[in-house]
Amino acid sequence: MAVVTGAGRGIGAAIAIGLAARGARVVIADMTPPDATVATIGGAAVGVAADISTPAGWAAIEHAATAAFGDVDIVVNNAAYYPNHPIDDLDFETWRRTMSVNLDAQYLSAKQFVPALRRRGWGRFVGISSNSIGLNVQGMSHYMASKMGIIGFMRGLANDVAADGITCNAILPGLTHTVATEAQGEEARRAVWQAQAIQRFAEPDEIVGPVLFLTSDDAAFMTAQAVVVDGGQYRVG
């Protein structure tokens, strides 16, 4: 059984639908009730409105999961907060909210679910980071710091739980065609595409395959990794 956060729309919704299509039962978490995603999946899904930046939010997610389906095996932390603020305009409240949603949630999910996963000897954590950490993106220092932190936390957590059959990895998508990116003009879109080998935005469904792999038994020996899925924009290695 899987938990996917920020799954009311966009990449999170696509991941939840993809996991359900593979046979998983899915708890879909978002700030507001994710009714559309639940309706798309049907009986294999339950929605919960929860603030994933708080311990109470994760307790609510586990309660919904247990009541509907039982034990959680997979956690995909996809929810994100990403206002654009150059450093001169970046206030501490925005900094903290960015960190709490994007990074604190990773820690809180581990604290909530690692004990039970250890007892069962199997589990998967996937943190959705961002390829922006390797790009020239202005006004996003807070966001980039939080997304780089996801990679560090997944790597550190992997060391702590590897002996218990639990893997922890990060996925770094590039800009993806969602409601959040639709407002970008053609010129801005092309500026992104021209830096990629595949010159278009990703579709949400194209982020799903790597998630399905990392949460499967096929990836049992893959942990503490950062997998870039951005059409060849940010090239590492």
Q: What is the pLDDT of residue 177?
A: 63
Model pLDDT, residue 213: 98
pLDDT by residue for the chain (237 residues), tens only, comes to: 999 999 999 999 999 999 999 999 999 999 999 999 999 999 999 999 999 999 999 999 999 999 999 999 999 999 999 999 999 999 999 999 999 999 999 999 999 999 999 999 999 999 999 998 988 889 999 999 999 999 999 999 999 999 999 999 999 998 876 666 666 666 766 777 778 888 888 899 999 999 999 999 999 999 999 999 988 887 765
Q: pLDDT value at position 194? A: 79
Does domain 2-229 match CATH 2.40.160.40?
no
SS3 assignment for the chain: CEEEECCCCHHHHHHHHHHHHCCCCEEEEECCCCHHHHHHHCCCEEEEECCCCCHHHHHHHHHHHHHHCCCCCEEEECCCCCCCCCHHHCCHHHHHHHHHHHHHHHHHHHHHHHHHHHHHCCEEEEEECCHHHHCCCCCCHHHHHHHHHHHHHHHHHHHHHHHHCEEEEEEEECCECCCCCCCCCHHHHHHHHCCCCCCCCECCHHHHHHHHHHCCHHHCCCCCCEEEECCCCCCCC
| CA 108 – CA 91 distance, rounded (Å) | 24
Residue 67 contacts residue 18 (beta carbons within 8 Å): no
**Which pLDDT does position 10 carry in this prediction?**
93
Residue 135, pLDDT score: 86
| Cα 179 from Cα 169, distance rounded (Å) | 26
pTM: 0.94
What are the structural domain ranges in the chain?
2-229
**Enzyme catalytic residues:** 143
Report the pLDDT value the prediction gives residue 16, as an integer from 0 to 100.
98
Q: How many CB atoms within 10 Å of residue 87?
A: 9
| Count of positions (residues) in the chain | 237
Q: Judging by DSSP bridges, how do beta strands 45-49 and 74-77 pair with one another?
A: unpaired
Q: What is the pLDDT at residue 182?
A: 62
